[in-house]
Chain A
């Protein structure tokens, strides 16, 4: 009797519960409809100037002050910044291409050297006419920015981006580890042999639990700086003609004027070059003798933590690293920076980034106004408040920026460009993704076996690069 009533009750409550659940689900979906369709994202679908940057919402918020300043000058232009999260630039470009494919391309994209030629070839609009038109405004910018950085954004005689920030692959070292091994600060023109003996000294002082040279396998700061120092590269580097309008217009008196061209071109693989072998062999020696690690593919996630915990003697990195080390708890005197070691030359590798205007931009004049404004000292100070990267303007790379964070020799960062004017960009033709894969996938094998394996790896790299370059960009 009571059992039947209970059962009945149970059935009612169960039905009620199910009904409530169903209603709840429907209610929740209706309430979250704007979220489901993305219509709650501010600025979505309106005609404001959309700017895509690599970063998080926090980075987008950091740009808000720059946007506010821009709006005071150009109240008629509405701007929205879209922060796009990605683990590396390749990932970021994939996202931008996806946006293009989805029919919602941004108007302006913050593009690094890795993608400069891909964008120039396919997606971006040259800035030449705007620069000529506003030459008076631009003179201030170019006078404060080293021409090497500008040349990285030249493609077939046209300029596609203005460099905003950049980083060269210098050599970071742990001051305590150097002192422990009885080493002084290396000389400005230390060689790859000096470097090696320093590593050996550190290894001797601290045989376990410590890596004298830590490096990662990627396009920036991996094997390429050693190729550049040895006056070679894994791709044949040529220059195109043109661009004189820019160099004569803004850099006529620059000491390195004669070096400048219409832009870099990488058309042929060069992995079987004798000096490429030599550089790889040097790295292989470091790995074999336990002085350097075998590099991880695309790695580097653990780098800041490892360096900050005093387990690494040296590693190649640029000015962007200072803020990360500071946040990881490394004191300003715990580390310092020196030029990359010299081999046949002391040519460095750098990467830089700036805004590219998309061909599809709805209002190109507005897009240019944003690009021009962003290159102003006022805007750059708002955008780069801390040493999480190196500003392209020489005048901003000053003691204030590094105060309390180190390194002691922060001057090394910009001096790299002035002292070594042949310093070149990350080699990145329009087929960058394929080229990068072709390089990276052969590096680990090349440096972690015997000489035979190295030769095989380089031959396979040559073949992979050939396929990569043959692809339509």
Chain B
């Protein structure tokens, strides 16, 4: 293992942030003992983190009458896939996934673009009222969505967009947190770049386009992944803003699997939960490295 520290965005194959803090040589023997304790603690934490998910997976692969078996079994030896069939019977899961993908995808792209532009303006462009405006943008983060949902609802109605996916997408595109992240990201880029460009006499647009825009991608990726993660799992706004089942997103569909008066079957509900994890898992696997690396950049200061 290496003890070199490489800050920020890693370009190598492994997420090479700090690969370990330096150890103190004098204490080598005590350290190996410490390391063992540390690994055990970490393993316990990882078990507690992943255990419930494993239980969910294995229970979804059993029939309802066996679902409460104790001691619990975490590995499904004889998987029974009928519950998964029933999920597809009870829910148009492809439509739910399509809706969630459309909503989340467009929000993510919208946030990436708008946050990159605004973040750049706040970081590198000079204009009157910049500080005040940035504070206002940040302050909007503090207003709970429940406070503004009723006026937003009426606004959506006025726009003729009641019970549509656009009603979920449009209000979510302006992003205070994304703007904040992108501003930090642009501030983190070395200023020599811009200086070099301005000595060359490039216009502000030119500077942005040729110097900063090509470098913006990793930062935008973080904004996109965070937006995806948040809105893929979003519950409250869809609960209020969509009515037709055809406009439901995944989390809403899953909750309704529980059935009226709890007549739903636990295995079917859990099968639905497992199915809904898959797309997020895929995005996670592809985005994880960029996310881990990028968050370092945005918030270390």
**Chain A residues within CB distance 8 Å of chain B:** 25, 28-29, 32, 35-38, 40-41, 44, 54-58, 82-89, 95, 98-99, 101-104, 209, 216, 218, 220, 299-306, 308-311, 320-321, 324, 327-330, 388
Contact = CB atoms under 8 A, between A and B. Distances in A.
Nearest to A327: B265
A36 B102 contact: yes
Given A38-B246, A40-B246, A41-B244, 11 more contacts: A56-B90, A56-B91, A87-B260, A89-B260, A102-B157, A102-B163, A301-B269, A304-B263, A309-B65, A310-B65, A329-B65
Contact of B258 (A87, A103, A328): A87
Contacts of B252: 85
B258 to A, nearest CB: 5
Nearest to B267: A305
Task: Determine the interface band of chain B, counting residues with CB < 8 A from chain A.
Answer: 35 or more
Contact of A37 (B92, B153, B164): B164
A30 to B, nearest CB: 12
Contacts of B109: 25
Interface of B is mostly: helix
B227 interface: no
A interface secondary structure, majority: loop
Interface in B34-75: 63-70
Contacts of A95: 243
Contact of B63 (A32, A58, A329): A329
B265 A304 contact: yes
Contacts of B66: 309
B223 interface: no
B85 to A, nearest CB: 12
Contacts, number: 141
Interface in B118-166: 153, 156-157, 161-166
A204 B91 CA distance: 43
Nearest to B258: A301
A330 B92 CA distance: 27
B279 to A, nearest CB: 16
A84 B245 contact: yes
A86 B68 contact: no
A303 B266 CA distance: 9
B228 interface: no
A83 B91 CA distance: 12
A337 to B, nearest CB: 16
Contacts of A57: 91-92, 245
A323 to B, nearest CB: 8
A39 B244 CA distance: 12
Residue with the greatest number of chain A CB neighbours at <10 A, chosen from B64, B253, B261: B261
A214 B245 CA distance: 33
B99 interface: yes
Contacts of B253: 85
A301 B161 contact: no
A35 B252 CA distance: 17
Contacts of B266: 301-302, 304-305
Contact of B261 (A25, A55, A102, A300): A300
A55 B266 CA distance: 18
A209 B70 contact: yes
> Which 4 residue pairs spanning A and B have beta carbons closest together?
A300-B262, A85-B256, A102-B162, A38-B164
A84 B243 contact: yes
Contacts of A83: 245
A87 B255 contact: yes
Contacts of A56: 90-91, 245, 256
A320 B163 contact: no
A182 to B, nearest CB: 25
B127 to A, nearest CB: 28
Interface in B230-286: 240, 243-248, 252-253, 255-256, 258-267, 269
A85 B96 CA distance: 13
Contacts of A306: 68
Contacts of A99: 163, 243
A36 B164 contact: yes
A5 B263 CA distance: 65
Nearest to A310: B65
B263 A324 contact: yes
B89 interface: yes
A301 B64 contact: no
Contacts of A32: 102
B91 A299 contact: no
Contacts of B90: 56, 58
A321 B264 CA distance: 11
Given A85-B256, A303-B262, A304-B263, A102 B243 contact: yes
